[in-house]
Amino acid sequence: MLDLTAQERKVLVTLGALALLGLAVIAYRTYIDRPDVRVVPGPRAAEGFKDAMGPAGPVNINTADAEKIESLPDIGPKMAKDIVDYRAAHGQYLFKEDLMKVRGIGPKTFGKIKELIALE
């Protein structure tokens, strides 16, 4: 079939064995060694933050009024008004990250609220 030297055959056998070992590790980690899943209360619950995601779900920053936006962590009345004013001046937010274009919202504040906002 193929004219391979002894060294080339050894390399091919070694590569095949390593590929099988890799597949075995992936299968083990995926199907056998599943870690226990535990629900741990987040920092908002522990520190008593206002709950922005109540029964109605996340705050839609494209339709919510300033009062609803104010329910987000670290967002006060002035910041909520600025968010609504920015939306009125520039149109709807296309990406959640566009919220950082509002003066006073940096990466730290955005990180706290990004999971609590929606754009729909």
- β-pairing, 117-118 with 59-60? parallel
- Domain residue ranges of the chain, discontinuous segments joined by +: 1-38, 43-118
% pLDDT > 70, the chain: 78
pLDDT of residue 44 exceeding 60, the answer is no
pLDDT of residue 55 exceeding 60, the answer is no
Confidence of residue 35 (pLDDT cuts 50, 70, 90): low
Residue ranges of the alpha helices (H) in the chain?
A: 6-27, 43-47, 66-69, 77-90, 107-113
pLDDT of residue 111 exceeding 60, the answer is yes
Topology of domain 43-118, per CATH? DNA polymerase; domain 1 (1.10.150)
% pLDDT > 90, the chain: 59
